[in-house]
Structure 1
Amino acid sequence: MLNIKGPYYHGTKADLQIGDLLTAGFKSNYDDNVVMNHIYFTAIAKGAGLAADIAQGKGKPRVYIVEPTGQFEDDPNVTDKKFPGNPTKSYRSQEPLKIVGEVTEWEEFPADFIQSIRDKIASGNPGEIIN
């Protein structure tokens, strides 16, 4: 188990409440054919905001402050595979994340960058997902 201090954030378009639990077992935002075995989160609000911006669904992008309820690990989809040392501070857990708050403002990525990621996902070639 990692011993990394938060706060931690999760980005989504789901309208959730404090006390709700985020769990694994839903379709990937990047590939409809993949059901995720983990729930992902980050220690960087801007990164969670990006995840919210590109999440599937019609809702408003939201960034929640979350607490892991169990063990978690570095996200292998970015750590040491794409960004050695985990500078994105991205993590994943098979255990639920508890929502403890919501961030209403965060630094956003440029709109053209967000669109380029959406286009890549829509192309059906978002890259390998380590599940």
Structure 2
Amino acid sequence: MMIFGNTIQTLQSSLNYASTKNQTIANNISNVDTPNYKSKEVVFKDALHTELDRQFQATRTNEKHNSFGNNNSSSYSIVTNDTTTYNHNGNNVDIDKEMTELAKNQIYYQALIDRINGKFNSLNTVIRGGN
């Protein structure tokens, strides 16, 4: 039995997503002047739709077998935007967009950290007997 159900696992997956997004944005910003560099983006929806469209059905024949529903594949992917060019050198990094996305992602990440801290503070309160 898990103490918080799937909450911590969900928050961990969300932190992994936010971390990957932050790394991708930082990579785009650092390559803003690199000739022919194409910006990258972390995409959640496309991966979700791909998973939902799959018609894979599996049945466990023994309780000791691994569950098919608990795969650890991420629910997001990194895609390259090859469709645009903003600069004369073939680069398509929009620095204003990247800085906005970075700020939004930092707020999202901090909210996740606050939520995890709240869960563990609640557990700490219970362990101490409500003091």
Q: TM-score, normalised by structure 2?
A: 0.23
- Specify which structure has the bigger relative contact order, considering alpha-carbon pairs within 8 angstroms and separated by 6 or more residues: 2
Q: TM-score, normalised by structure 1?
A: 0.23
Instruction: Name whichever structure is richer in helix by fraction.
Output: 2
Instruction: Name whichever structure is richer in strand by fraction.
Output: 1
